[in-house]
Amino acid sequence: MPTNCRRFSSISNESKVRVKTTNLSLAAKRRRNEPISMVTAYTTPSALHVDRAEIDILLVGDSLAMVELGMETTQGVGMDEMIHHCKAVSRGASYCMTVGDMPFGSYEVNDDDALRNAYRFVKEGGMDAVKLEGCRPDTVAKIVDGGVAVMGHVGLTPQAISVIGGFRAQGRTAVKARQLVDEALMLQDAGCFAIVLECVPEPVARAVTNALTIPTIGIGAGSGTSGQVLVYHDMLGMTSHPHHKQFVPKFCKMYADIGKTIKKGLEEFKREVEEGKFPSEEFSPYKMGEEELELFNKMMMEDEAEREEKRGRTEKDLREKDEYEVLKLYGDK
């Protein structure tokens, strides 16, 4: 059996061979006009779910900054944080092609640094490829010549929000749309195996796709691309809190509402703990033999008086501290 094939049993217990996605298999899907699926995720558990769903590509996006780390933009996340999450994802993704998003500042200064950081994604992070934003054909060529596959990204490039003035749709004028086509062609010529098109009008995304021979992956770019990508947390409704909902993009369809289920489960746990219902006998499985229990009780009785005295002193100190806090000598803060 080829090294990129693994045998597994499906739910119906029928054995089949699943082949790991590669840049070559993606190119074949593009030629056959077979849609490509990509999901952005950041952890081992999410990677396991994405892999089991037979998604083609798993992107460890720099959106990690906002989705997992609570930052306002993607600009704050660094190489070490990205590598950390790439390692986690690589442990859960056996068949998806994994792509690591090169963070802001990791490839712009010079091409040697870009190649060095790309190597880290592959050697340390366990990624199959890297992704970088913007039209940087020389950088792409340097990384590809160094032996690392590169996915391009044009349209809305979130790392450049301080230049483009925020998270804004791109390619909405004829001149800007033509510029996107030219940029995509330059990236293809530089060696990109695929290109992400983010937040551009559908006719523009379709024109870019038709102009290229490599796959395009759309996000907020309509249905004319070779494939589609969404963020794991967004599409599954993981973040049900109103604060997070305001950051869910308009183009994101929710295929589940897991956030509400999570909230319900946590509230149920809290209630059962407060009511003394958890853990019940069913969830208290570890027992002692009667002789060992009797011996343990005797051992505890030997210094019971000393422990009670010490406990009394500790409780007295804590009460005094509580009373000090209640006085609020320094105001209400």
Q: Which of 72, 133, 198, 282 is catalytic?
A: 198
Calpha distance 57→229 (Å, rounded) = 9
State how far the Cα of 90 lies from the Cα of 113, in Å rounded to an integer: 23
Q: Is the dihedral of CA 9, 10, 16, 21 positive or negative?
A: negative
Distance from CA of residue 100 to its chain's centroid?
Answer: 10
Where helices occur in 275-303 by DSSP H, the ranges are: 290-302
What is the C-alpha to C-alpha distance for residues 255 and 235, in angstroms, rounded to an integer? 6
For CA atoms 87, 214, 205, 55, the dihedral sign is negative
Lookup: tokens for 314: 């500790």
202 noted as active-site residue? no
Cis peptide before 285 (omega within 30 of 0): no
- Compute the distance between CA of residue 99 and CA of residue 289 in angstroms, rounded to an integer: 53
Cβ distance 47 to 41 under 8 Å? yes
**Are 29 and 19 within 8 A, CB to CB?**
no
Catalytic machinery residues:
198
